[in-house]
Amino acid sequence: MSFSRRVLSALAATALVGIVAAQQVPPKPVPVPRPVVPDAPVPPPPDVDAKSWVLMDYATGQVLASKDPDLRVEPASITKIMTDYVISAELANGKIHMNDMVTISEHAWRGGGASTDGSTSFLKLNSQVSLKDLLYGMIIQSGNDSAIALAEHSAGSEEAFAGLMNAYAKQLGMVNSHFVDASGYPVDNHYTTAHDIAILSRALIHDFPDDYAISKVKEFEWNGIKQGNRNTLLWRDPSVDGIKTGHTAAAGFCLAASAQQGDARMIAIVMGASNEKARADSAMALLSYGFRFYETHKLYDAGKPLVTPRLWKGTENQLPLGVSDNVLVTVKRGDYEKLKATMDIPSTLIAPFSKGQQVGTLRITLDGQPVQNVPLVALNDAPQCGFFGRLWDSILLWFHHDSSADKGGTGK
């Protein structure tokens, strides 16, 4: 090979090596390990200026923090949350309608009208007002006259309506509440608790979301008079969308507030604060605390088998068990890994079972403390099998029980 050809070959080889080298991916730098930072401890709840208060997670109904949650207090206009719930239920049942025209009685005019000290929608005696306008007037303006007129139209009298309020309260599990009027005007034997109002607020949001949405409307005009919503948090935080304020000299300043951030919703109830600013600041502090330091997890899906134990004397040999509703739990941030679940199921299951029938209990605990107990239900119908099948399973069960006794399972 001539000298020139050798030089060209060498140059070509050098160029090829350069191309290959250029195409090689340089190794990734080894990341510097970061120190493991433990979760920050959850501080105690904020100091709240109120007689009693509750912070509740909407998704689970768990009370996350509270002070004297079952202390019986005067509810003032917080009462109107229950009036709203009853009216919403009656609307849903078709017993009354949004376009109903309601005559303003002397009782509504004199007991809650412009001549009184309380909040009013300025309804005129013997005038006719649509039920929708009355509902807006009660929720946004906190009109006592609107509340009384709604009660009379729905039940015939305010006294009869109070009976409805108490019936619905019992149905919702409000065990420490008793209502005498629809407006919250101070009367004997009219009381509730912060916990009961949290239960009621959660039910209103869940059961009647369209009617609940009225509580975030910032102002309402009726008969040429425009009034603003008394819940000042609606202007302070866009995540706040309800619920109701209340105040009398005896009750102090009260506020039921709710806010939603992403998929999370919190409910804060403040009863008996010292002034309007204190009730707003306290409710806002509680809502912020809940969003910052708590999180909700879905543990189990509704309708999916969690366990399939042996079924005796049935057309099938197994019975799928699960939960009727999604199992959600709210815990302090960082506590999710500490949750434990156990299932209590009878050792022997004998057909028949009906779909939805409770068979056992799913128990959720955190650090050994109960968090939730959820019914374990049959996910399918499980009818009995025929005579010979039941006879055969009876024989097998005899051996099964005998074997358990030999192992000491039934010994004393």
Q: Indicate the pLDDT class of residue 14, thresholds 50, 70 and 90.
A: very low
pLDDT of 384 > 80? The answer is: yes
Considering Cα of 235, then 290, then 64, then 272, what sign does the dihedral take?
negative
Structure confidence by residue, pLDDT tens digits, 336-368: 999 999 999 999 999 999 999 999 999 999 999
Q: Indicate the pLDDT class of residue 125, thresholds 50, 70 and 90.
A: very high
Considering Cα of 389, then 395, then 399, then 402, what sign does the dihedral take?
positive
**By mean pLDDT, which of 104-118, 209-223, 363-377 is the weakest?**
104-118
pLDDT of 17 > 80? The answer is: no
CATH class of 52-293: alpha beta
* Average pLDDT of span 285-301: 95
Structure confidence by residue, pLDDT tens digits, 185-210: 999 999 999 999 999 999 999 999 99
Q: Indicate the pLDDT class of residue 33, thresholds 50, 70 and 90.
A: low
CATH class of 301-406: mainly beta
CA 345, CA 314: separation in Å to the nearest integer? Answer: 17
CA 180, CA 188: separation in Å to the nearest integer? Answer: 8
Q: Residue 367, by phi and psi: left (phi above 0), alpha (psi -120 to 50) or beta?
A: left
All residues at 6 or more sequence positions from 50 whose CB lies less than 8 Å from its CB, including other chains? 67, 252, 270, 271, 272, 273, 278, 279, 282
CA 324, CA 403: separation in Å to the nearest integer? Answer: 35
Structure confidence by residue, pLDDT tens digits, 152-169: 999 999 999 999 999 999
Q: Indicate the pLDDT class of residue 3, thresholds 50, 70 and 90.
A: very low
* Average pLDDT of span 95-115: 93
**By mean pLDDT, which of 94-103, 249-258, 371-380, 398-407 is the weakest?**
398-407
Contact 65, 52 (CB under 8 A): no
What confidence score (pLDDT) does residue 8 get? 42
The per-residue DSSP string of 170-215 comes to: HHHT-TT-B-S-SS----TT-BB-HHHHHHHHHHHHHH-HHHHGGG
CA 183, CA 179: separation in Å to the nearest integer? Answer: 10
Domain boundaries of the chain, sorted by first residue: 52-293, 301-406
Which SS3 state, helix, strand or coil, does residue 161 take?
Answer: helix
- The beta strand positions in 27-146, using DSSP E, are 52-57, 63-67, 101-103, 128-130
**By mean pLDDT, which of 9-18, 113-122, 295-304, 319-328 is the weakest?**
9-18
User: What distances in angstroms separate CA 69 from CA 83, 332, 403, one per listed residue?
Assistant: 21, 20, 52
Average pLDDT along the chain: 90
The more confidently predicted of residues 27 and 103 is 103
* C-alpha angle 189-190-195 in degrees, rounded to nearest 5: 120
β-pair type (349-350, 311-312): parallel
Residues designated as active site? 77, 80, 142
Q: Indicate the pLDDT class of residue 38, thresholds 50, 70 and 90.
A: low
pTM: predicted TM-score of the whole model, two decimal places: 0.82
Q: Indicate the pLDDT class of residue 116, thresholds 50, 70 and 90.
A: confident
Structure-block tokens of residue 360:
């056992």
Q: Indicate the pLDDT class of residue 114, thresholds 50, 70 and 90.
A: confident
pLDDT of 12 > 60? The answer is: no
Considering Cα of 247, then 251, then 252, then 258, what sign does the dihedral take?
negative
* Average pLDDT of span 266-284: 97
Residue position matching structure tokens 């599990």: 173
Residue position matching structure tokens 């401890």: 41
What confidence score (pLDDT) does residue 397 get? 86
What confidence score (pLDDT) does residue 34 get? 61
Contact 312, 397 (CB under 8 A): yes
Smallest CA-to-CA distance from 256 within 383, 142, 159 is with 142
Longest CA span, the chain: 123
CA 153, CA 130: separation in Å to the nearest integer? Answer: 11
* Average pLDDT of span 227-244: 96
Structure confidence by residue, pLDDT tens digits, 320-332: 999 999 999 999 9
Contact 261, 291 (CB under 8 A): yes
Which SS3 state, helix, strand or coil, does residue 84 take?
Answer: helix
